[in-house]
Amino acid sequence: MNTIAVEIVTPERVVYRGDARIVVARGVEGDLGILPNHIPMVTPLKIAPVLVKKHEGEDDKIAVSGGIMEVRRDKVTILAETAELPDEIDVDRARAAKERAERRLAENEREDIDFKRAQLALQRAMTRLDVAGK
């Protein structure tokens, strides 16, 4: 079968290794579907789930909080700031982070650095909740 290797690493550890029919990731310019033999490229990623589509009904979802994706014809490597698998996600912690971020967004002006920080924290929390299925 025609597959592409996938590796997701953070500064701390290898979070995920597998083989995909297609990898869906959110690049800074939009969603990307990477198939085997894709043209080589490097792109920054947004904070979003990465979907590794394997066989029918067998997909993996990984919470990725930004970083870089390097695509070669036979391999996708994601160097992420943080990344978690669904069963590694502490749902209560992500919910608390989401509430904290929403409070800060309500309290701060749009131009504030704290507002921007809260927006990113909110995206991380929502990505984790999505991947955890919550």
Task: For the CB of residue 91, give the shortest distance to ligand ATP in the complex, in Å.
Answer: 7
Sign of CA dihedral 22, 26, 32, 36: negative
The number of residues that bind ligand ATP (CB under 6 A) is 12
Let me know: does 45 contact 68? Beta carbons within 8 Å: yes
- Answer yes or no whether residue 94 interacts with ligand ATP by CB under 6 A: yes
Among 90, 99, 107, 112, binds ligand ATP (CB under 6 A): 90
Question: What is the DSSP-derived secondary structure letter of residue 99?
Answer: H
- Answer yes or no whether residue 103 interacts with ligand ATP by CB under 6 A: no
Task: For the CB of residue 90, give the shortest distance to ligand ATP in the complex, in Å.
Answer: 4
Q: Which stretch binds ligand ATP (CB under 6 A): 22-30, 70-78, 88-96, 109-117?
A: 88-96
- Answer yes or no whether residue 93 interacts with ligand ATP by CB under 6 A: yes
- Answer yes or no whether residue 82 interacts with ligand ATP by CB under 6 A: yes
Measured from the CB atom, the residue of 69 and 84 that comes closer to ligand ATP is 84
